[in-house]
Structure 1
Amino acid sequence: MQPRPLEDAHPRRGGWRSLLWTLPLLLSLVFVAGVLAWVRANELAERELERQTLITDALSTEAQLRSRIAEETALLRRLAAGLAGAQPGVEALAARPELNTGLRRLWLSVTWLDSRNRQIAQLPPQGIANEDGLSLHLSEPVGPEGREGSLVVRYAPSLLLKHGVPWWLSRKYEVQMVDSAELLIASTGELRMPAGPGPSYRVAFSGPLRSSPLTEAAITDAALVLTVREPQPTALKPLALVLIAGFLPLSAVASWLLRRQVRQVLRAESAWRTEAAWRAAMEDSALVGLRARDSEGQVLYVNRTFCDLVGWPAEQLLGRRPPMPYWPPDALEEVAQRNRRTFAGQAPREGYEARWVHRDGHMIEVMVFESPLVDAAGQQIGWMGSIIDITQRKRLEERERRQVETLAHNARLTMLGEVASTLAHELNQPLTAIASYNAGVLNSLQRQGGADPVVLNALQRLGQQAAQAGRVVQRIREFLTRREPQRERCQLGVVISDAVALLSKELSRAKIEMSLRLDPALPAVVADAVLIEQVLINLVRNAADALLTHPEPRHIEVTSRLAGSFVRIDVMDNGPGLQGLGAEALCAPFYSTKSEGMGMGLAICRSIIEAHQGLLDAGEAPGGGARFSFSLPLATTATAEEEDPSHV
């Protein structure tokens, strides 16, 4: 059943919407009126701004001219002060540097008059010609109260305007100086009356302007007139009116055409609205994420389930091209390559698994099924994807796999502990026998007398090493059987020195330089010295093995320092380093970087250090190479009972 047209189903709403075609015409009229009002207001604002600028520039020009006259007066005052007490004459006047300075600026001539206003000297003798024919004067007494006469400077007002008005003001305005009768005194342009086509502004200029050298009366009615050379044209041009007049008929025609189009759209809208509502309801209720893309990868459609799956709203996904925001940043190239295979028609029909990133950052596992997207003409225009969230299923599988690995790992550790305990038990008897035989041979040689001291020393060292081996085997056996280490107060400096001494010949044969930087002021720690010594031996031997393939010089350094309430031991080499591996990976049981290694050395070392409430760490050495560090707590009163052998 076809739905009724929108205008028939809702006559009032259809009649109102059918009048929408008149809206562009009304908006055009409002727009034209707004443009005309804006142009007029802008014109008035520009004129007001031009008037304010003109007033500001006129006041600024008047102030600059006053400042220039004040400078010339100050220069004349210095000249008069320099002539005070001098022999009146041309020579004294010409010798003053102020004279040349003034003549290079505004002065046309300088006249020296005596107290009776008789001329004593004048430079230049004839004065500098003034093209305008007008000149003004400045005067200054010479000597106390003018007893030695006075100086009269004649200057051209046109030069005053030329040097006192900035060049940019001269280009923008015509600056004129007039008197009360509107007679022109000076101008920056051609000599004419100030009336002009542009707007002008008049400001009083009643400064020290004197037209005669023999009078103190100043011109009090002079004024400056600034006239705009190029006034702003009127904004409302005939061309603008013609354009506006042509715009209105075109808007009317466009509105009529729009009316026809609106009526057609309204009829078509009610035909597909019901169909779209049914389709949207079915797609949004599906539990499978749907995604439609064109042949170039641009997203055409996503349903609500897909948006909830990746955490991005549809508005931010539609129209996007690869790479997509839900692709993992560390696998962009891999996902892009698989995406290109899909667009090439090589997507597996059984689907494929993928890892995506939710908007909040957590990873999701999905199963993607791709199928061709065909339009109404039967042409393939893209691909339709169905996405299923399999994150929970993957987590369950991973949990089961980890449980199986944990059981196998525990089984291997149990078996290793049993084997190690058996080996320790079996080795204890041969080591005891070796120590006993060594003691017997040593006692026999000492009773006979005359034995070689070197042989006796070697037998004594053999006995010590056999006893040490027995203690090591006993402590490791006790440690593997879950007994507490035999902790006692000890100095780590002695433990480190003993451990390095045991490896000295081995390091010397490998051409490895060994250095110790131990803090002699370190306090004692409570630890099992035998186990800690074995940890140090293991770490130093690992560093030596890593240096065997490294070119010379080869160097291992062991340092100790105080770090808060712990003592920190660092074993550093200049070998190839850890290749990006951390302590967790290196100390994992059965993991080894050596072809013949069992992968238990660092794991046992870590267990020994953690049993002492310490921490084993690994990283890169400052100068390159590897660094293995462990820390042990200091001996405190809280550990006093651990120092007592009876406590163990």
Structure 2
Amino acid sequence: MRMLVPGFEALRRASWVLPLLLALAFAASVAGWLRHSDARDLEEERLTLIADTLSLEARISDWLTAEHAVVDRLALQLPRRVDDQFLLNHPDVAEGLRRLWVGVTVLDANNRVVAHVPHFVPQATPPRERTGVSLDDGGVTAHWSADRPGGGRLIVRFAPTALLRQTVPWWLSQKYDVRLVDALGQRLAQTGSDEAQAGTQGYRISMDPAMRETWLELNTRERHVPWWTTLAGPLMAVFIVLSALASVMLRRQMREVRRAEGEARTEAAWRRAVEDSLTVGLRGRDLEGRVTHVNRAFCDLVGYSAEDLLGSLPPMPYWLPDDMEDSLRRHRRNMAGGAPREGYEARWLRSDGRIVEVMIFEAPLVDAAGRQIGWMGSIVDISARKLAEERERRQTEALAHQARLSTLGEVASALAHQLNQPLAAITGYNAGALRILERTGPPDDMVMEALRRLGEQATEAGRIVQRIRAFLTRRAPQPEVCTMADIVARVLALLKRDLRNLRVEQALPADLPPVNADAVLIEQVLINLIRNAADELQARPQPAPRPHIRISAMLVGQRFVRVDVDDNGPGLQGRGIEQLTTAFYSTKPDGMGMGLAICRSVIEAHHGGMEAGTSALGGARLSFTLPLAEQGPRASVPQDTRQENTP
């Protein structure tokens, strides 16, 4: 920040030139707009010129086409023998001479003149001059030629000047200079001035096929005046000069203001240095509770700048939303002068979302006349002290809890040792009862099946007790080759009563390779995960979608199998596997916080890992990986074979 202050100060000192720069920018924008407007006007004038030229060319072409048709018809109507008097008396010839024609000549097959009528205009119908049109009556003419039946030709000459007189409208001749020129640019006929003036636009279009090697040319008569030669140019120059004078006066005024500000800043800097040297936050408020002063320590404490805090009224931005009523009550008490002299504790919310514990001391703020004008508060951050006290309390609770768990482990180990003999006796008595029933005669099938299942369950209970005892005495797991399908089947059989109201789905590949694991310990891990999911599903408020648990497994890479337990419950709510498997952490009111921690220890003892995430069913997913059993080459894993159990 200190490196930026000189640059900012230099920029502020040069701010007097900003109005002049803005005036120049405004003048430049106006000049650009005027230039663009000139270009747009020129383009519109050119488009209009092109349209008028095309329209006039079509009009002249239509006129010439009609005249040519009259010549062709006259050539067909004339008899074989014709003389000058016959041509002169022919109605089409007389009408053509009255309109446009200059002369009519009849040639025989040998191109000899048979009859010829010179230019003739009857006195009864003199040509009518159009207003505003000045035509050049030079000797340049054009002609049409038509073949006669039986040989010979009819040639009719006409004047381009008369053509323009007949076809150019009066309004067009006032707006443009119209010319007919040949291929070399020589003028054949025209209206208006002889040469195009500077600053005008022109457009030329071919008259072919109505008049071969002839072009129609239109030139505008009004000259285009650039914008800078109009009144706008001097006005913009005067505007820029006045802006420069105003900037000079502003610079002089700013120098005087900076001199006064420098003196005030020197005095304020001394006072601010004293306040900023303190580690205690200072907050000044008026009698209405409006913040009038804060020091740097207070801003660092709440995470807001002084500009954000000065002038603010309750509720303050650093008050906790949940404690808003208590904060308002304390504020009213302090404004009434009831703040404790020994101070009081409060919890504030920093701008970054972190909660800080503070101790506040309030005292009246008195002016030089002895009148109270507000309150001055001293704020001390006691978050570190509170955190140390909380840490010490938790360590004490953790030590007590660990002592209880240690005692519980010893009791569990002793209990497992004591249960071995009763379980062995149950197994022995059950085997003896089976042999006696088999010797005494045909036994009841239902009784025999019940006794066999009793023996299997007693044997399984003995295996579980032995493995739990081994795990509690810190012995390594006893891995063996087993299949996940068998483990899942045994777990679901044991949890049949707990899962009777839930939909349980299995998604296990048919040819999933076997794993190398302690089946009993892995069963306990699965039991813990499934029971946790069932507890979360049964604790949901009603009505809710039907509880759904899915157990799936898949091959991961070439060395591991991953087992997923999914549910459609409320999910993990942002908790990760590290938090869930922390010792003594539990989301259940009566939980010990050791279930998932022990599960993770069992999986890591098998060289696997645990993960937590979001399930495709919408709830939570807890997964663990187990190593594959060493065997020959494995076949590719086929599509899943799904099985659904609804206890």
Q: Tell whether the structures are fold-level matches, with TM greater than 0.5.
A: yes
Post-superposition shift, 1:159?
9.1
Task: Determine if contact 2:563/2:625 at 8 Å carries over to the other structure.
Answer: yes
1:502 aligns with 2:477: no
Task: Determine if contact 1:577/1:626 at 8 Å carries over to the other structure.
Answer: yes
- 1-side partners of 2:354 and 2:437: how far apart? 76
Q: Secondary structure at the match of 1:354?
A: strand
1:525 aligns with 2:511: no
In structure 2, relative to structure 1, the CA distance for the partners of 1:412 and 1:233 (3 Å cut) is same
- Residue in 2 that maps onto 1:226: 222
- 1-side partners of 2:527 and 2:67: how far apart? 101
- Residue in 1 that maps onto 2:90: none
In structure 2, relative to structure 1, the CA distance for the partners of 1:401 and 1:175 (3 Å cut) is farther
In structure 2, relative to structure 1, the CA distance for the partners of 1:538 and 1:293 (3 Å cut) is same
In structure 2, relative to structure 1, the CA distance for the partners of 1:443 and 1:298 (3 Å cut) is same
1:427 aligns with 2:419: yes
- Residue in 2 that maps onto 1:514: 504
- 2-side partners of 1:369 and 1:151: how far apart? 117
1:483 aligns with 2:475: yes
CA-to-aligned-CA distance 1:256-312 (integer Å, 9 cap, x gap): 9x99x989x97x997x88865654443233332223344666553333444555566
- Residue in 1 that maps onto 2:199: 201
What amino acid sits opposite 1:533 in the alignment? E
What amino acid sits opposite 1:440 in the alignment? G
- Residue in 1 that maps onto 2:281: 289
What is the TM-score when the length of structure 2 is the normalising length? Answer: 0.63
1:611 aligns with 2:605: yes
1:558 aligns with 2:551: yes
1:338 aligns with 2:327: yes
Task: Determine if contact 2:357/2:383 at 8 Å carries over to the other structure.
Answer: yes
- 1-side partners of 2:28 and 2:492: how far apart? 94
CA-to-aligned-CA distance 1:448-483 (integer Å, 9 cap, x gap): 232123222221111111000000011011111111
Give 2:528's match in structure 1, choosing from 522, 534, 538: 538
What amino acid sits opposite 2:524 in the alignment? Q
In structure 2, relative to structure 1, the CA distance for the partners of 1:395 and 1:544 (3 Å cut) is closer
Alignment of 1:240-259 (within 5 A): none
1:384 aligns with 2:372: no
CA-to-aligned-CA distance 1:118-150 (integer Å, 9 cap, x gap): 9xxxxxxxxxx99869699x9998999x98999
In structure 2, relative to structure 1, the CA distance for the partners of 1:81 and 1:200 (3 Å cut) is closer
- Residue in 1 that maps onto 2:312: 321
- 2-side partners of 1:623 and 1:418: how far apart? 41
- Residue in 2 that maps onto 1:440: 432
In structure 2, relative to structure 1, the CA distance for the partners of 1:492 and 1:235 (3 Å cut) is same
- Residue in 2 that maps onto 1:407: 399
- 2-side partners of 1:320 and 1:504: how far apart? 67
Count how many residue pairs are aligned between Structure 1 and Structure 2. Answer: 541
- Residue in 1 that maps onto 2:642: none
Is 363-372 or 490-499 further displaced after alignment? 363-372
Post-superposition shift, 1:625?
4.4
Q: Secondary structure at the match of 1:435?
A: helix
- 1-side partners of 2:269 and 2:478: how far apart? 79
Task: Determine if contact 2:502/2:546 at 8 Å carries over to the other structure.
Answer: yes
Task: Determine if contact 2:303/2:351 at 8 Å carries over to the other structure.
Answer: yes
What amino acid sits opposite 1:568 in the alignment? R
Post-superposition shift, 1:613?
3.1
Task: Determine if contact 1:201/1:225 at 8 Å carries over to the other structure.
Answer: no
Is 302-311 or 444-453 further displaced after alignment? 302-311
In structure 2, relative to structure 1, the CA distance for the partners of 1:358 and 1:391 (3 Å cut) is farther
Post-superposition shift, 1:612?
2.2
- 1-side partners of 2:145 and 2:583: how far apart? 109
- 2-side partners of 1:151 and 1:432: how far apart? 139
- Residue in 1 that maps onto 2:177: 177
- Residue in 2 that maps onto 1:568: 562
Task: Determine if contact 1:58/1:202 at 8 Å carries over to the other structure.
Answer: no
What amino acid sits opposite 2:222 in the alignment? L
Task: Determine if contact 1:132/1:158 at 8 Å carries over to the other structure.
Answer: no
- 1-side partners of 2:391 and 2:587: how far apart? 28
Q: Secondary structure at the match of 1:202?
A: coil
Q: Secondary structure at the match of 2:279?
A: coil
Task: Determine if contact 2:275/2:295 at 8 Å carries over to the other structure.
Answer: yes
1:449 aligns with 2:441: yes
Task: Determine if contact 2:71/2:156 at 8 Å carries over to the other structure.
Answer: no
Post-superposition shift, 1:234?
5.3
Task: Determine if contact 1:561/1:567 at 8 Å carries over to the other structure.
Answer: yes
CA-to-aligned-CA distance 1:200-247 (integer Å, 9 cap, x gap): 93235565589xx99987677x6322357999655768xx99xx89x9
- 1-side partners of 2:284 and 2:130: how far apart? 88
Give 2:410's match in structure 1, choosing from 399, 415, 418: 418
In structure 2, relative to structure 1, the CA distance for the partners of 1:31 and 1:524 (3 Å cut) is closer
In structure 2, relative to structure 1, the CA distance for the partners of 1:632 and 1:147 (3 Å cut) is farther
- Aligned-pair identity in percent equals 41
- 1-side partners of 2:531 and 2:19: how far apart? 88
- 2-side partners of 1:294 and 1:229: how far apart? 68
Task: Determine if contact 2:301/2:350 at 8 Å carries over to the other structure.
Answer: no
Q: Secondary structure at the match of 1:631?
A: strand
What amino acid sits opposite 1:399 in the alignment? R
Structure 2 unpaired stretches of 5+: 1-12, 78-98, 108-115, 117-127, 136-140, 180-185, 632-647
- 1-side partners of 2:297 and 2:398: how far apart? 37
Task: Determine if contact 1:291/1:301 at 8 Å carries over to the other structure.
Answer: yes
Q: Secondary structure at the match of 2:491?
A: helix
Post-superposition shift, 1:435?
0.6
RMSD: 6.2
Task: Determine if contact 1:555/1:573 at 8 Å carries over to the other structure.
Answer: yes
Task: Determine if contact 1:130/1:156 at 8 Å carries over to the other structure.
Answer: no
- Residue in 2 that maps onto 1:464: 456
Post-superposition shift, 1:433?
1.0
CA-to-aligned-CA distance 1:567-624 (integer Å, 9 cap, x gap): 2222234456567766566556666666776665444333322332333444554334
Post-superposition shift, 1:414?
0.8
- 1-side partners of 2:360 and 2:232: how far apart? 69
- Residue in 1 that maps onto 2:347: 354
